[in-house]
Structure 1
Amino acid sequence: MKPTHIEHIGIAVKDLESSIQFYEEKMGLFCYRVEEVPEQKVKTAFFKIGQTKIELLESTSPDGPVGKFVEKHGEGLHHLAFAVEDLQENLAELEEKEVGLIDRTPRIGAESLNIAFLHPKSTFGVLTELCEQTK
C-alpha cells in the first residue's frame, strides 16, 4: 500500500453551522461544500488547505457512528483519511497483513469517493479511512 496524500482530516462536531462559522470567521477558511450522507447518518462540511481537506462531521442521528463517537468522546478528531489508488487491492493487501478492516469492500462516501475504514485497534487508536476517486 502506498497512499498518495492525506485526503482529509475528519472532525466530529455537535453543531455543523456554528463550526463552519468558526472555521470561516476565525480561521479564514472557506467552506466549499456541505453534504448529507444518509447511509452514514452524517452531514459534512469541507474546507481545503493546499491538497488536504478538513471534513466537519455532524451526526444526523444519535445512533449513527458520529453520534455515538460524540456521545462517548465528545467533539474532536474523528479520523484521518489517506488517498489511495485501487482501494479494493489495498484492502486485500492490508487484510493479508492482518490489519483489522471495518469495511472489506469499498462504499460510497461524501464527495462520491470510494471509501473504506480500518479498525482503530490495528492503527494505534486512530480511525483510518482510505479514499479513492470514483472513475
Structure 2
Amino acid sequence: MTENTATAGSITGRYVTAIDHVGIAVPDFDAAVQWHRDHLGLVLAHEEVNEEQGVREGMLSPAGTAFGTDTAIQILAPLNDDCAIAKFIARSGPGLQQLAYRVTDVEALSAELRQAGVRLLYDAPRHGTADSRINFIHPKDGGGVLIELVEPAAAAH
C-alpha cells in the first residue's frame, strides 16, 4: 500500500508543490509552437530569450489557462551551437529534455539535497523563465532524468 501524502519532514512535503513544466528541446522554436497549436490547441502563454542559458523559450498551455497556474510544456530552442540545448539536440536529437518541479524555496531544497549527497548543476540558483529561480538535479542522481527545480518569481524571497 502506498501513501498518498508526503510524510512529515520529507523534502517533498516541505518544498515540492507541483509539476511546473516538461521541457522539450527543438531546433526550430516557431515550428514547434505552431505544431502544438495546430495539433493540440495549446497557446503560447509566455516567451522570452534567456541569454545566460542560450535559449529561446516559450511556455505552452491549454487555451484559457493562466500562465504559471497549471503544468506547462516548455519549448527550448538553442540560440547558438555552444549552449546546453544545442548539445542535447546534437547528442540525443530533439525531444524531452527535462522535468521541472515547482518548489517553494529552491535554496533551502538545494541545501537539503546536497546534504543528502545529491549533485546539483549550479552552486547557487540561477535566473529562469519569467524571473523564476532555478537549479537542476544531475541526471545521474535523478534516475536518468534532468530534474529542474523552479521557484516562481512570486514565491521568491
Measured after TM superposition, the shift of residue 64 of structure 1 is: 0.2
Instruction: Measure the CA separation in 1 of the matches of 2:105 and 2:37.
Output: 34
Runs of 4+ in 1 over 2 A off after TM superposition: none
The residue matched to 1:116 in structure 2 has which SS?
A: strand
From 31, 41, 47, the counterpart of 1:18? 31
Instruction: Measure the CA separation in 1 of the matches of 2:47 and 2:24.
Output: 14
| Match in the other structure for 1:103 | 122
| Match in the other structure for 1:46 | 59
The residue matched to 2:37 in structure 1 has which SS?
A: helix
From 145, 149, 157, the counterpart of 1:126? 145
The residue matched to 1:80 in structure 2 has which SS?
A: strand
Structure with larger Rg: 2
TM-score for the superposition, normalised by structure 1: 0.96
Measured after TM superposition, the shift of residue 79 of structure 1 is: 0.3
| Match in the other structure for 2:5 | none
Letter in 2 for 1:22: W
How many residue pairs match? The answer is 135
Gaps of 5+ in 1: none
1:9 and 2:18 are equivalent in the alignment: no
Letter in 2 for 1:101: L
From 109, 122, 144, the counterpart of 1:90? 109
Letter in 2 for 1:30: V
TM-score for the superposition, normalised by structure 2: 0.83
Gaps of 5+ in 2: 1-10
Measured after TM superposition, the shift of residue 18 of structure 1 is: 0.5
1:80 and 2:80 are equivalent in the alignment: no
Report sequence identity in percent.
Answer: 35
